[in-house]
Structure 1
Amino acid sequence: MSPVLVFGVISGYFLLLILISYLTSRKSDSMTFYTGNRESPWFLVAFGMVGASLSGVTFISVPGEVGNTNWNYLQLVMGNMVGYAVIALVLIPLFYKLNLISIYEYLKSRFGSRSYVSGATIFLISQTIGASFRLFLAATVLQLAFFESFGVPFYGSVFATMVLIWLYTFKSGIKTIVWTDTLQTTFLLAAVVISILVIAGHLNKGGWELLELISKNEKSTIWVWDGNSGQNFFKMFAAGIFITIAMNGLDQNVMQKNLTCRNKAEAQKNVFWFSLSFFFSNLLFLALGVLLYYYASVNGLVLPTATDELFPSLALNEFGTLAGIVFLLGITAAAFSSADSALTALTTSFCIDIINLPEKKHINQDRTRLLIHIGFTFLVFFTIVVFNELNDRSVVSAVFKAAGFTYGPLLGLFVFGLTNRTTIKDRFVPFVCVLSPIMSFILDQNSAKWFDGYQFGFEILLVNGTFTYLGLWMLAKK
């Protein structure tokens, strides 16, 4: 694709985001950044959250992963649906009842200040690494497709990207994010649908023929019953439940959007409708994966070594200009829908949980929040640059996986708090929150050797949360 055309597409996209930011930032006050003044229409939040939840990792990786594990991923998504029901029926009522801005304020009222700061710190570390990793993958694609043609180094393109994200989020924060997420979800899903239609055109297949091709393809196999496999149904289903609860229900990035709805009932309605949209969106990605591999097979194309490169390679080089444009819009939307909300959530958590900014009436709150927002923008930028300097995707993936272990303590803290009334020795909680992920990581690395070939999949999160729960029980006050 022509670099000039790519530049026009990306420039037009960002102009739309800036326009939305301008329109939503009028009549903003100091709380708009954190809560959107609790005026967001539930259906807007539900639709916008689809793009933020899928992210650039899903957009690139899920279609390519079909080549390795077929549709096994759908087993995890089925568990996700149950997890979202728990969020809607248990966590949403709790957070609205307590009128929280940051969900980690619950830990302070339930356990004490050390538990509160521990939970917020875990989120800040995990979200910084997670957002940086997701944006790193997308930035790599944009670098190859556009910036490299103009001789712009990788750090230059990432810096420009972070500045643009800051420009449309610094004023109204989560209020702007709710609206930009809607735009970005539209582009993301349109990219998948148009890609499927383009492939159908190349294959001369109609709608029913396409459905038959996908349903009968061996790569559409869903179920795995082998107990030692990391893709086993029961492992993935259970993991899907607890991953959703931990990484959505206990994640400020996601819950901050739910808490912008007008009331508890609308927030619950938002979660249920979002979960349905999320399920069918993943079906689209998996169907696209089957078609990508089928197309490559019938045309005798050499598959890329890395499965993550399959969709970008075919979209930019094989399917024509329209498919290339919608792919770039899709990957850009996927990357920014997760990165912009992550920056807003990081700023919110730091302001509320770490320095308690709203209570400090003697200082300029808008200016302080602005400086913190700038600080996190640079922190994510430098983290991405470090990822690039490592120059080893497997190392970066390992760092991202390690960050995922930190959600276990959050799961353990909230489950312990919600399932009993036991008080604990709050000052020792930080030690439990550090030891639980370390023990889980050691167990994960040695499970095949210690347990006769058994390999942990995503269910290691549940083990991690259990370690935390037991550790908190040991800290119970007599």
Structure 2
Amino acid sequence: MSPLILLSFLFGYFLILIVIAFVTSKKSSDNSTFFIANRNSKWYLVAFGMIGTALSGVTFISVPGEVGSPGGNQFQYFQFVLGNAIGFIIIATVLLPLYYRMRLTSIYSYIEQRLGYYSYKTAASIFLISRTIGSAFRLYLVVIVLQRFIFDSYGVPFWATVLISLGLIWSYTFKGGLKTIIITDTLQTFFLVLSVFLTIYFVCDSLNMNIPEAFETIKNSGYSKIFFYEDFLTSKFHFSKQLLGGIFVTIAMTGLDQDLMQKNLSMKTIGEAQKNMFTFTGVFVILNIFFLSVGALLYIFATKNGIDIPTDYVTGKPRTDFLFPEIAFNHLALIPGIVFMLGLTAATFATTDSALTALTTSFCVDFLHMGKGDNDNSKEAVRKRHMVHVGFSVLMFLVIVVFNAINDDSVVNGIFRVASYTYGPLLGLYSFGLFVKNRGLHDKLVPFICIISPAICYLLNDYSVQLLGGYKFSVELILVNGLITFIGLLLISKKTDQQTKF
């Protein structure tokens, strides 16, 4: 497919988003609109839009690519998805009622009221670091595709492609914030879902199969195994590891993450927020089945047509992340290529625009103390918010450039590996706040506990085979990280007669 066609499509797509941003922020672009959309969002719009934010380009490209990876992953990712679903239900029934009862703008304000000032700043800092890295990794995935299939043809360097992408996202998020994001994410999720089903149709058509025949072929292929019970110690795919990891990664990366919770807090009532989460959970699980099916079909198509997994230009190693775009752009017709581009762009930018808004909100509320006074919507406050928004865009740019220089794994693996280290302390902090009563923390020591815990987990992960009889960690490492943090907090706490409010 011509790079010019793809480039024209990309800029046309962003032009639509910028128009939406202009319309949604025309009446109001103050900080209340930016942070929580004036608490007037419709639950069904948020539920649908959250699908695009939660799935991202990682699910769109990396998950299908992992199905036929040399490690024989098959459909094992669905074990993790089942854990995700349980995690979403826990969020809806435990965390959301707490956040609504306290009428929070930043969810880390709970930590301030429950555990103390330094604990609060630590929790907010963990989010800023975790979400910046995670969102940068997600954006990196679409940037390397844009670089390989569009901008390399024009001699544009990688760093410039990153800068262009972030500049386009900034252009439609800096003014309207969450109010704009809820509308644009709804549109982008529609494009994402549409592209998944159209991709299945086009690949089936190229294989001369109808849809029922395709699913029967997938079922009988070597790619459709879901549940793995073999080798508990040495296999990262064991059902219990993936299920537990899915539960606690979801609680940490969604329920304790300002990004997705910010949208839930923008609704009028807890009932609407819970309806949003339950609806979102059902659709999320079903869509992941289709993403895995796309992966199986891509490998069946590649085998039939003699297509090898593309290699990374930097490392020279096969990169399963490139298989989907390789087939869509170079082995299918024009329309399937455009459909793929539509889905990839929608999935990845829906995640990044939302993250930039959440990062800006958290920093403004948790460190600049906006949202707590009468001058939050003054021109000076709005100007500060704009500067913070630019600052996080620059930071994300730097993370992507560095990650591109060192990464040689699939992006989905990179994201959950980093999340195990960065989000684990949040699990420990919130668990202590929710379940430990009548004990006061030595608040100033909390930052050290939240640094020591990931460091211990890093060493434990590296030497687990020697220390734990051959055991290999997977995504369940986040639970260990949270547990070590929790124990550390217990050690620096003492019994008190003061009654816990929350």
Structure 1 length-normalised TM: 0.96
Aligned counterpart in structure 2 of residue 418 of structure 1, from 431, 434, 438: 434
CA contact (8 A) 2:420 2:477 kept: no
Q: Which structure 1 segments of 5+ residues have no match?
A: none
Q: Match for residue 132 of structure 1?
A: 136
The count of aligned residue pairs is: 477
Q: Match for residue 299 of structure 1?
A: 305
| Separation of aligned partners in 2, 1:72 and 1:30 | 43
1:178-257 correspondence runs (5 A): 178-226=182-230, 227-228=232-233, 229-257=235-263
The Cα offsets for residues 392-434 of structure 1, whole Å up to 9 and x where unpaired, read as 4349876973354110110011111111212211111111100
CA gap 1:289/1:340 in 2 versus in 1, 3 angstroms: same
Please provide the CA RMSD for this pair.
1.6
Is 1:450 the equivalent of 2:456? no
Any idea what SS the aligned residue of 1:223 has? coil
Counterpart residue type for residue 7 of structure 2: F
Is 1:150 the equivalent of 2:151? no
| Separation of aligned partners in 2, 1:223 and 1:134 | 27
1:83 Cα deviation from its structure 2 partner: 0.5
Counterpart residue type for residue 89 of structure 1: T
CA gap 1:21/1:154 in 2 versus in 1, 3 angstroms: same
Is 1:275 the equivalent of 2:294? no
1:349 Cα deviation from its structure 2 partner: 0.6
Counterpart residue type for residue 205 of structure 1: M
1:60 Cα deviation from its structure 2 partner: 1.1
Aligned counterpart in structure 1 of residue 479 of structure 2, from 434, 446, 462: 462
CA contact (8 A) 1:238 1:459 kept: yes
Is 1:406 the equivalent of 2:422? yes
Counterpart residue type for residue 64 of structure 1: G
The Cα offsets for residues 154-195 of structure 1, whole Å up to 9 and x where unpaired, read as 222211111111111111111111111111111222222111
Q: Match for residue 341 of structure 2?
A: 328
Aligned counterpart in structure 1 of residue 355 of structure 2, from 335, 342, 345: 342
1:69-80 correspondence runs (5 A): 69-80=73-84
Q: Match for residue 12 of structure 1?
A: 12
1:2 Cα deviation from its structure 2 partner: 1.3
The Cα offsets for residues 241-289 of structure 1, whole Å up to 9 and x where unpaired, read as 1111011000001111111112100000000000111111111110001
Any idea what SS the aligned residue of 1:220 has? coil
| Separation of aligned partners in 2, 1:360 and 1:262 | 21
| Separation of aligned partners in 1, 2:358 and 2:164 | 21
CA contact (8 A) 1:133 1:400 kept: no
The Cα offsets for residues 12-42 of structure 1, whole Å up to 9 and x where unpaired, read as 2101101110121122233010001111111
| Separation of aligned partners in 1, 2:386 and 2:43 | 28
Q: Match for residue 62 of structure 1?
A: 63
1:19-34 correspondence runs (5 A): 19-28=19-28, 29-34=30-35
Is 1:354 the equivalent of 2:360? no
Structure 2 length-normalised TM: 0.92
CA gap 1:358/1:111 in 2 versus in 1, 3 angstroms: same
1:358 Cα deviation from its structure 2 partner: 3.4
1:368-407 correspondence runs (5 A): 368-388=384-404, 390=405, 392-394=407-409, 401-402=417-418, 404-407=420-423
Is 1:287 the equivalent of 2:293? yes
Q: Match for residue 381 of structure 2?
A: 365
Counterpart residue type for residue 95 of structure 1: Y
Any idea what SS the aligned residue of 1:423 has? strand
Counterpart residue type for residue 52 of structure 1: T
Q: Match for residue 312 of structure 1?
A: 325
CA contact (8 A) 1:50 1:274 kept: yes
| Separation of aligned partners in 2, 1:146 and 1:250 | 37
Q: Match for residue 474 of structure 1?
A: 491
Q: Match for residue 120 of structure 2?
A: 116
1:361 Cα deviation from its structure 2 partner: 5.3
Q: Which structure 2 segments of 5+ residues have no match?
A: 311-317, 496-502
| Separation of aligned partners in 2, 1:300 and 1:176 | 45
CA contact (8 A) 1:35 1:101 kept: yes
Q: Match for residue 95 of structure 2?
A: 91
Q: Match for residue 444 of structure 2?
A: 427
